[in-house]
Structure 1
């Protein structure tokens, strides 16, 4: 029973944080969404900050097992697109925080974890470049940035995605298009031979 109540509170907090950001979210609103007494938030999590810290911890654990080591770049990108666009409340919270709505307590640890994850992503891209899976004419850092932009564009700029690509933001068609286009754009360049005709 207690674990089910905790999960209801966490689910409600994710929706509230996604809709209003950390600063705009209220424990009363979270409690109302969860259908629980507001005092249970303090009891189980110590308050709003504790809720955010627990959500971050769970999300971090989930991301560490997101992509199997043998996955291709296209498969990795697909997994990243799916986890971002299937969890829009979390993705919106990430956008809120990127815009500066991030509490001091816990934010530094979150930034450190994100920094480590980005460094790991850059390292994996470099490994793919050395293996010939991806072009080395684009920096690994920029490839990681492109992947993040593709994943968060439907969250931060859905109307622009719709206008430019003519597909529903976050749809399976959008994900497939991003995966295929980036894999094509960033794939290895074929060797050019200057063989005269004839």
Structure 2
């Protein structure tokens, strides 16, 4: 008797596999170092499907960036406290370290076309809004009065990225796995103590 045939992947499943594989490949090697053959191999699909679904490597990156911007907009629920906002951003960063690695690659100039003026304007607007939110939180007593709220925001970003960008230092300084729940909790509680009066 012939075993039942396994159903094939849907187009959407293939797209998601390719996006996950691209995030891992871009995070590991940067945009310039990533190869579509390696992305396809990670996804377990034919390389031609990258062009079919995304138009090529750049299309993959563009779709990842679009999705990440959507995700960032909903990372912190409305009305969340400063401590809860820190936790949400820390979790979002450490749940998907490939995203953070790709952001670092881009910041180092790996992908110059992502610095198009329109993209930079959107990033500047988002950053300005984040600084304004930090100022509002300080006015509401959530951020320590003696700290520049822009610096508080920068410190939070730097510490959230540290387990991804400097895992060896985090491991040596704090002990244990930089991406573990225990390390996350240490980072969150210490950030709250550093930046607030709680």
Normalised to the residue count of structure 2, the TM-score between the two structures is 0.89
- Local SS of the residue matching 1:36: coil
Please state how far the C-alpha of 1:111 moved relative to its aligned partner: 3.2
Given that 2:143 and 2:149 are in contact with CA atoms closer than 8 Å, whether structure 1 keeps it comes out as: no
Cα deviation 1:46-82 (Å, max 9, x = unaligned) = 1111110000000100110110121111110000010
- 2: CA distance between counterparts of 1:107 and 1:51? 17
Matches within 5 A, 1:1-198: 1-104=10-113, 106-108=114-116, 109-188=118-197
Given that 2:89 and 2:160 are in contact with CA atoms closer than 8 Å, whether structure 1 keeps it comes out as: yes
- 1: CA distance between counterparts of 2:188 and 2:153? 13
Please state how far the C-alpha of 1:113 moved relative to its aligned partner: 3.0
- 2: CA distance between counterparts of 1:112 and 1:176? 34
Given that 1:13 and 1:30 are in contact with CA atoms closer than 8 Å, whether structure 2 keeps it comes out as: yes
- 2: CA distance between counterparts of 1:188 and 1:139? 14
- 2: CA distance between counterparts of 1:140 and 1:163? 29
- 2: CA distance between counterparts of 1:83 and 1:135? 24
Given that 1:22 and 1:103 are in contact with CA atoms closer than 8 Å, whether structure 2 keeps it comes out as: no
Given that 1:18 and 1:92 are in contact with CA atoms closer than 8 Å, whether structure 2 keeps it comes out as: yes
Please state how far the C-alpha of 1:138 moved relative to its aligned partner: 1.2
Please state how far the C-alpha of 1:115 moved relative to its aligned partner: 2.3
Normalised to the residue count of structure 1, the TM-score between the two structures is 0.89
Structure 1 unmatched ranges of 5 or more: 190-198
Structure 2 unmatched ranges of 5 or more: 1-9
Show structure 1 runs of 4+ deviating over 4 A.
Answer: none
- 2: CA distance between counterparts of 1:168 and 1:74? 23
> How many equivalent residue pairs?
188
- 2: CA distance between counterparts of 1:69 and 1:134? 18
Please state how far the C-alpha of 1:110 moved relative to its aligned partner: 3.9
